[in-house]
Amino acid sequence: MLYLFIVWIGPKLMKNRRPFDLTWLMIPYNLAMAALNAYIVVRLLTASFRLRYSYICEPCRQRYDPDELQITEAVWWYYFSKLLEFCDTFFFILRKKNEQLTFLHVYHHSTMFSFWWIGIKWVPSGTTFLPAMVNSAIHVMMYTYYGLSVFGPRVSQYLWWKKYLTILQLIQFTCALVLAVNGIRTGCEFPLWMHYVLIVYMISFIVLFGNFYMKAYIAKV
């Protein structure tokens, strides 16, 4: 609620003010976020490999094996990263990039933080590791892109791969949707309501990110 209030009040407070130059802050922020997401990927990948986790269905068990705790710790850092990602929005507001404050952006940031609070509280291991790992891998590339793009036209002309990040995100959402449907079909030992919520949530992302991709890349051709 505080995040949504800031999104509402921020542009009003900045309306008659000059935009801030945050280059000095955005470069280390984006590169630090890329490093944090890389750390999450490595921790989840190594522990899940040693535990021989299934990529189709892995029930969340209350175990205190060091590798299970490593996964839980990494998932917590993933949840915490969603709090840090609110800075993306705050930077838009302070730089008066209000065109970037789209429904997709605000919906994505606000709901991810809320849903992953549920995840880390009730299902901090098991199949939960997979979306956290895949999404963090994409965020490594995304924040690396953002960090490099801050350097301006001299560097941004070589950053041709932005649209492929959106394609990877759409593939990620589709795979998560398929896994949720399969979880219901096979009776995967995971809270049933979470499967249904995930299906609805992934459909909303596919529609919103698909619409963004169409407008940003297809309509311009």
How far is 208 from 103, CA to CA, in rounded Å? 9
Q: How far apart are CA 93 and CA 6, in angstroms?
A: 9
- Distance separating alpha carbons of residues 203 and 211, to the nearest angstrom: 12
- Give, in order, the Cα–Cα distances in Å from 206 to each of 147, 155, 165, 173, 181: 26, 30, 14, 6, 15
Tokens of 154: 């001299």
Catalytic one among 108, 109, 139, 195?
A: 108
Is 139 a residue of the active site? Answer: no
Listed residue (175, 218, 214, 221) closest to 198, CA to CA: 175
Nearest to residue 123, comparing CAs of 195, 59, 183? 59
| 33 and 85 Cβ atoms separated by less than 8 Å | yes
Helices and strands, counts by H and E, the chain: 9, 0
Cα–Cα distance for residue pair 14/20, rounded to 1 Å: 10
CA distance 56 to 127: 8
Catalytic residues: 108
